[in-house]
Amino acid sequence: MKKTVTTLADGRELIYYDARADTVRDAVDPRPLTRVVSRSEIRYDELTGDPVTVASHRQDRTYLPPADACPLCPSRDGRESEIPEKGYEVAVFENRFPSLSGGVGRCEVVCFTDDHTDSFADLTEERAALVLDAWTDRTAELSALPGVEQVYCFENRGAEIGVTLPHAHGQIYAFPYVTPRTAAMRRRIDAHREATGRNLFDDVVAREKRDGERVVLETDHWIAFVPYAAHWPYEVHLHPKRRVPDLLALDGGARTECPQVLLELLRRFDRIFGPDAPPTPYIAAWHQAPFTDGRREDFGLHLELFTVRRAPDKLKFLAGTESGMGAFMNDVRPEDAARRLREVADA
């Protein structure tokens, strides 16, 4: 892998990741950009203690532009974008309209391909491996920034999820706090250790492997299953069989297999509802241990992949119980979801 670091016209960092060591990236951003004034503010809910980021400057961010004005396509034919090169493999840049900014974290955009019509599932294993390398490198770089406690790599796909740019991309948030979901996991990890003397992630994976009914796929180094108490209609958790706290700690076998396994899961998601259904909207979220946690070795790196679609023509909306009370009601039995995801395996 070759990594090339440069800057955009307004000073934001841009990083190219290429498979070939002899690739040259030297295009200059010619746009007359001025830095967007962005200063986020973190407030804390007095009743729950949960952090809430206020980022009012994001009201003016780019929203569903036409294909010929996509800011994530390469710059070509007189059209200038966030990527000055005429083509690229994987590119990462600081978000022009970040949720976290002004010394309270950082937000980056990860472009998986320069093809506007491709999705992550369309990538080759080699390109998916390059994306994994980029996620890993950015995790290392961002975790070293002052004040950063947690690095979160994720992809939102589909207008139903709220995506504002259809070009295949993900994001990375460097949080200046431990997110509420991770904090809840941390409490459960500690309680399980105190009650049993064992690791929670190890016990969950062992139970799913033993039961088998919710397992979607298994390889030498990975196991994917629908969780026992899935929140979403179709939800899969992907774990390395050897527990590690983050992407940096993946060993050779798990790292080599990861692109193939991830692509297979995403392709199955697109087949859940049949060949005539539109692409399945989803969120793919990598959960990594906070970097300020002295017990981070107890955390288990894993991917949580889920969709809000519950039938070909129906979405699961967060209604009063979910939005108002955080009490989820799932319309699809997890065992049925797992069976369907096994049925649509790539033959």
Cβ partners under 8 Å of residue 39, min gap 6: 57, 101, 102
**Apex 186 CA angle, 182 and 189, nearest 5:** 135
Distance of CA 202 to the CA centre of its chain: 23
Reduce the secondary structure of 121-165 to three states and give it as a string: HHCCHHHHHHHHHHHHHHHHHHHCCCCCCEEEEEEEECHHHCCCC
Written as six digits, the tokens of 58 are 């994001």
The owner of tokens 């966030």 is 82
Binding site: what residues are annotated? 70, 73, 116, 167
Closest CA to 177 of 155, 139, 148: 148
User: What separation in angstroms does the CA of 39 have from each of 35, 48, 147?
Assistant: 12, 24, 16
Distance of CA 196 to the CA centre of its chain: 32
Closest CA to 141 of 3, 8, 26, 7: 3
Catalytic residue (choose from 57, 169, 192, 221): 169
Binding site for Zn(2+): what residues are annotated? 70, 73, 116, 167
User: What separation in angstroms does the CA of 130 have from each of 63, 67, 136, 142, 197?
Assistant: 28, 25, 10, 18, 38
Tell me, yes or no, if 169 is annotated catalytic: yes
- Please identify every residue annotated as catalytic: 169
